[in-house]
Amino acid sequence: MSVSDLRLFEMRRPADLPDVCAVLAERVSRSEPTVLLAGGTDWLVEQETRPAFAKEAALPLVLDVSRLPALRGITLDGDRLRIGAAATYLDMRRDPAVLARAPMLERMGRDIGAIQIQARGTLGGNLATASPAADGVTALAAYDATLVVHSVRGERRIPFASLQTAYKRSTRAADEVIVAVEIDLPPAGSPWIWRKVGTRRAQSISKVALAGVAVREGDRLTRLGLGMASVAPVTALLSRVRTLATSRPLRDLTAADIDAAVDADVSPIDDIRSTRDYRAHCARSVVRAFLRDLGAPV
């Protein structure tokens, strides 16, 4: 594809968040196609892979939200980290608060595409696309993050657990703009894992990826957040593993119990990137590895 193959579209750069919400509400009410563009790393790919018949759909309106101050910035308020929806992965990787308090996000950010993609891609964009293979979204699942969305009706907060409903579907309304995500951080120095099993070391979509954060008191986990990419139609929260691992002392965890919980939590498939069997194997292996690091005898 060259730029000349891009279908025609109208592009606007709205002045502020209320402007975006107003335009979006009006367009959605008339069923007019509208795109919120931040880094464009998903949208441009979609332009190339979209089915041919879609090429002559009504002229879409593209709203460039990448420079809206309301969507930018990363702030730490006590234990609450707020990341603007249009902050890039590179912003995240360089942010002192992220480095100090959410090192898993920084580590995950290194595995997104390659440096060029990291400089453009945003958490908000990946959340909007809602792909179960998105590494950034997987990390947010482990933090049990909250989405902050705005519309003409005002602000709404969506807990991660009630966000995704089916493959690339979410409970966010069509006229709602993702403004930020908020994370209630575990204490500094808490254990975490980011383990991506990809196709290569860069420009790689996860075959399986595990994000995990934990708070340990003695031989018990008092908090365990997990997210797993590419093993289900939505980002897997591994709720059975969470329940299992927080319900008993770490020393009482067995490999068999962990494997059974993982198997029940995921439903991988065969596709062009990998196989069901391999994904299931990796899912079990990486979860066991994290719990082993936390002190489980597995």
Residues of this chain that interact with other proteins (CB under 8 A) are: 1-2, 4-5, 7, 45, 49, 52-53, 55-56, 114, 197, 199-205, 207, 272-275, 277-278, 281-282, 285-286, 289
Q: Which is nearer to other proteins, 3 or 15 (CB)?
A: 3
- Sheet strands side by side (includes 80-84): 74-77, 80-84, 177-184, 146-151, 154-159
Query: Minimum CB separation from other proteins for residue 145, in Å?
Result: 27
Q: Which is nearer to other proteins, 5 or 77 (CB)?
A: 5
Query: Minimum CB separation from other proteins for residue 179, in Å?
Result: 30
Query: Minimum CB separation from other proteins for residue 56, in Å?
Result: 8
Structure tokens at 76: 């730490």
Q: Which is nearer to other proteins, 164 or 274 (CB)?
A: 274
Q: How far apart are alpha carbons 101 and 187 in whole angstroms?
A: 8
Query: Minimum CB separation from other proteins for residue 282, in Å?
Result: 5
Q: How far apart are alpha carbons 87 and 181 in whole angstroms?
A: 10
Q: Which is nearer to other proteins, 9 or 29 (CB)?
A: 9
Q: How far apart are alpha carbons 35 and 20 in whole angstroms?
A: 11
Query: Minimum CB separation from other proteins for residue 53, in Å?
Result: 8
DSSP for 145-197? Answer: -EEEEEETTEEEEEEGGGTEEETTEESS-TTPEEEEEEEEPPPTT--EEEEEE
First to last CA, the chain: 49
Query: Minimum CB separation from other proteins for residue 79, in Å?
Result: 32
Q: Which is nearer to other proteins, 107 or 220 (CB)?
A: 107
Q: How far apart are alpha carbons 250 and 133 in whole angstroms?
A: 29
Q: Which is nearer to other proteins, 114 or 173 (CB)?
A: 114
Polymer length of the chain: 298
Q: How far apart are alpha carbons 49 and 172 in whole angstroms?
A: 24
